[in-house]
């Protein structure tokens, strides 16, 4: 399954990266296991196409998306709008 959106709220726990994937209508929690901060080149505000599968974490009662690969698509429109508003 592939999803398109903008990266937000990036955090690390060991070799796992947690982030949100958002568009103008929604926000989805995502995780990618086995990543390295040194090689993980996608940053907050980047538009991406992610490939993976949905996951339901029973213990926490949370739905998320397990990402297995990324395709960068440049800077996200939401991020650019934020920068314009900030200036």
pLDDT at 76: 66
Where residue 41 falls among pLDDT bands split at 50, 70, 90?
confident
- The residue assigned the tokens 């196409």 is 49
pLDDT at 27: 95
CA-to-CA distance for 38 and 61, rounded, in angstroms? Answer: 31
CA-to-CA distance for 14 and 36, rounded, in angstroms? Answer: 8
pLDDT > 90? residue 19: yes
CA-to-CA distance for 35 and 14, rounded, in angstroms? Answer: 9
Which of residues 84 and 34 earns the better pLDDT score? 34
Report the pLDDT averaged over residues 1-27.
91
How far is CA 85 from its chain centroid?
23
Which of residues 30 and 60 earns the better pLDDT score? 30
pLDDT at 36: 80
């Amino acid at each position: 399954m592939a999803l398109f959106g903008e990266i937000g709220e990036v955090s690390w726990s060991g070799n796992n990266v947690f982030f949100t994937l958002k568009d103008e209508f929604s926000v989805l929690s995502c995780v990618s296991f086995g990543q390295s901060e040194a090689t993980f080149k996608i940053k907050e505000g980047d538009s991406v196409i992610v490939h993976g599968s949905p996951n339901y974490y029973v213990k926490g009662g949370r739905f998320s998306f397990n990402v297995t690969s990324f395709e960068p698509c440049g800077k996200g429109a939401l991020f650019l709008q934020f920068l314009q508003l900030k200036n």
